[in-house]
Chains A and B, each alone.
Chain A
Amino acid sequence: MSNEGYEPGKVKVKNNAYKFEGAFHHIERNQPILNEKGDLVGVTNPRNMTYVHTYGGEAVFFENLSKGKIIASRCDNKDCTAFGSIFMPFRIHCPDCLSRNTHVDITDIAKTTSRVHTFMITERTGAFNTLPKPIKFVNVEFEGVVTILMGPMLFGRPEIGMKVVPIFRTKDPTYTILDLGWVPKGTKESDLPEFYTFDA
């Protein structure tokens, strides 16, 4: 029941269907759980499996992070109360009229107008965390955007009102929200964490 030598699962798409190759789960022997007297109270149930997740209409956002771009979305339905609203986090559809939003590149807006609305610093994390400790989150306001994006601050100490700029994991991207980070405005390129750059 060893996991050694298994091939990590990979997925391709063919004819609009997922094709799975490699190991997506690994079997481990369960173990008994005994109390202080040696009586059986339960067993362990090992689970080790890989999920697949579909980005659908949000794929454009995650794909562009590794290219140094932040793609937001805008409601262009003139009959909608949210007409002209730019959403970041990206929304595929307008939450009011449900029409499909227009993609908008807000990279320059983010580089010039981003400010910390609020923040959080903690040493505590859950299992599977990959951020360096202490982890630092900032919620970032952008001019002309109706929502406030949360992301990791990857250098410096956050403060409310602080001007920040985006950085991108352009090398070895994860294609997740972790490809977008924030640092104080004026941070030197040499202070950025490994794999991250200001531009593509």
Chain B
Amino acid sequence: MSKPVYMVTGGMSKFGRAQPDKRTEELCIDALTESAHFIDMSPAELKKYIHTAYYGHFADHFGDQLLGESVIHDRLGLDPLGNIGVKTGGATGGSTIWEAYKTVASGYSDCTLAMGWERMDEVPTDEGNHLISSAADKDWETPLGHIYTGYYAVMAQRYWKVFGKEEDSFRRTMAEIAVKNRGYGRMNPHAHGGKDISVEDVINSPVVAYPLRAYDCCLMSVGAACVLLADERTAYKMCDDPLRIDVGAGSHTLRVACRRNMEIPLLPHETKDQYNDLADRFPGSERYPGFSGFLAARMASYYAYNMTGIHDPTEDLDVVELHDAFTISDIQTYEDIGIRPYGDGRTYVESGDCYHTNPHTGEPGKLPANLSGGLIGNMHAVGATGIMQVVEVGQHLWNRWREMHADEEKWARFGRTKPKDWKDLQVKGAKRGLAISHAGVGSHVTATILQHPDHVLDRRGSQ
């Protein structure tokens, strides 16, 4: 990219399973207002900087409104600026940022808005499932039950058998992710999935599609989130400490059935012979990416790491927000993005590295994941999800996570009760973070890397 790009600010609305008291535009204005106040501006002052707007909204048919992007653009009072809609399924939020990023990097715009939203409360759940299943192949997949979870569940089953070896210990590791993320969601006033649950609660929750149970699955949500990106000169006019941002993207077949075999593309810290014994250790893993890997996630992180000088994500990053649509897909993603090698994803959880505070040592986790609560404990308002992740990572790098999550007024405004055991999940000294935005069975994935301006790596990995 020709010009460095910076994230200046970001904001979010309240997230909920339903929000019948608000139109979508009110949620988007809530998000934009929060992002303005975050850098001590009024919304009107902030809007003066915007040159181009990108809107992420996965499903027109949920709201029965084509060109919903134009509706929101008008209600935000951003006409006659150019704007465009972005749709890449579950990765819509990340893809929206990707587009806004490229526009600044190319020099076309000095400041862009990336705004995403979804409202999944205006149809009954079974019709919602049908509409989501329309994002699968309409001839070869959608007629099969009209249930997208099922199209992913065949992948979960394969990973469970081959890499999880159907072990009780692996089942408990999956459950730990749900316990962690729902627990972190309790500390987030925006979140609607926070809950104090146990491993046994997860394992005893109703089966959705074995081995996935209800608590293994993400939420369906309503809400909005946004970020503003700018070139260096503009960014430092808008605030004192904008974050460097870079975005990589990858894709793979919409139909999992159409995956063909290939060699494993290696990330910067992986070696050529590293996976020679993978099939011996995990019989059935001969195919790559088969039904257990997300090639798009690997390609997105491959590009993002090489664009930024990230060598080993576990060593070079301080905080991550991952697309935990299901507990088992979260584990798969650890491997695709190189937090752990293929086959060893479970050890990221079992080691305690993924926690804010390592439960085994009481020390800070090496690379905390989904402190927002993620898709399981916070929200999955599809078009907003990938943007929410980047806002959350940014708040850690700005050392303002506590400010944005502890505020009693915000808890009250959202009609939620702040837990008496509320805990500050700020990652101390966080310099760099990553957000993974992911579509369904892995058709689109983006990897967004944020770096504090005082700790930007060069492309060889030096600071």
Tell me whether B421 is interfacial, beta carbon within 8 Å.
no
Which residues 108-165 of B have a CB within 8 angstroms of A?
124, 126-133, 137-141, 143-151, 153-158, 161
- What is the size, in residues, of chain B's interface with A at 8 Å between Cβ atoms? 46
CB-defined contacts of B210 to chain A, threshold 8 Å: 120-122
Q: B144 and A126: CB pair below 8 A?
A: no
Please measure, in the bound complex, the distance between the C-alpha atom of A33 and the C-alpha atom of B156, giving whole angstroms.
39
- Contact call B20/A41, Cβ cutoff below 8 A: yes
- Chain A 22-45, CB within 8 Å of chain B: the 1/0 string? 000000000001010000011001
- The answer to whether A122 touches B208, judged by C-beta atoms less than 8 angstroms apart, is yes
**CB neighbours of A42 from chain B (8 A):** 20
Residues of B within 8 A of A87 (CB): 258
Instruction: List residues of chain B with CB within 8 A of the CB of A137.
Output: 144-145, 150-151, 153-154
Chain B: CB-nearest residue to A39:
B21
Provide the residues of chain A in CB contact with B139, threshold 8 Å: 53, 55, 58, 62, 176-177
Q: Smallest distance from the beta carbon of B139 to chain A beta carbons, Å? A: 6
B64 close to A (CB within 8 Å): yes
Q: Give, as a whole number of angstroms, the nearest-CB distance from A172 to chain B.
A: 16
Question: Least Cβ distance of B370 to chain A in Å?
Answer: 25
Task: Report the separation of the CA atoms of residues A121 and B207 in the bound assembly, to the nearest whole angstrom.
Answer: 10
Partner-binding segment picked from A6-14, A148-156, A162-170: A148-156
A150 to B226, CA, bound (A): 38
With A147-B257, A147-B258 known to touch, is A128 a contact of B130 (CB < 8 Å)?
A: yes
Number of A-B pairs whose CB atoms are under 8 Å?
138
Q: In this complex, what residue of A is CB-closest to B210?
A: A121
User: Which residue, of B21, B138, B147, B259, has the highest number of chain A Cβ atoms within 10 A?
Assistant: B147
B144 and A47 contact, CB distance less than 8 A: no
Contact of A122 among B126, B150, B261 (CB under 8 A): B150
Nearest CB of B to A155, in Å: 16
Which A residues touch B131, using CB under 8 A? 126
- Chain A residues with CB under 8 Å of B143's CB are 130, 176-178
| Cα of A147 to Cα of B257 in the assembled complex, Å | 6
Q: Is the CB of B158 within 8 A of A126?
A: no
Q: Digit string of B235-263 for contact with A (CB within 8 Å is 1, else 0)? A: 00000000000000000000111111100
A89 within 8 Å of B (CB atoms): yes
Is the C-beta of B39 less than 8 angstroms from some C-beta in chain A? no
Once the chains are docked, how many angstroms separate the CA of A146 from the CA of B145? 25
Asked whether any CB of chain A lies closer than 8 Å to the CB of B278, the reply is no
B209 in the interface, Cβ–Cβ < 8 Å? Answer: yes
Q: Is B291 interfacial (CB-CB < 8 Å)? A: yes
Partner of B140, one of A118, A128, A150: A150
Interface: A52 (CB within 8 A): no
CA distance A169 to B298 in the complex (A): 40
| A122 adjacent to B154 (CB under 8 Å) | no
Contact code string A171-200 (vs B, CB < 8 Å = 1, else 0): 000001110000000000000000000000
From B130, B151, B209, contact of A150 by CB (8 A): B151
Q: Which residues on the B side are within 8 Å of A126 (C-beta)?
A: 126-133, 145-148
Residues of B at the A interface (CB closer than 8 Å) are 20-21, 64, 124, 126-133, 137-141, 143-151, 153-158, 161, 207-210, 255-261, 284, 291
Beyond A120-B153, A122-B150, list 10 extra A-B contacts (CB 8 Å).
Answer: A41-B21, A85-B260, A125-B145, A126-B145, A129-B130, A135-B145, A135-B147, A137-B151, A148-B259, A177-B139
- Provide 15 A-B residue pairs closer than 8 Å at the C-beta atoms, listed in order of the A residue: A41-B20, A45-B64, A85-B260, A117-B158, A118-B291, A119-B157, A122-B150, A125-B129, A126-B131, A127-B126, A129-B147, A137-B145, A139-B154, A149-B257, A150-B257
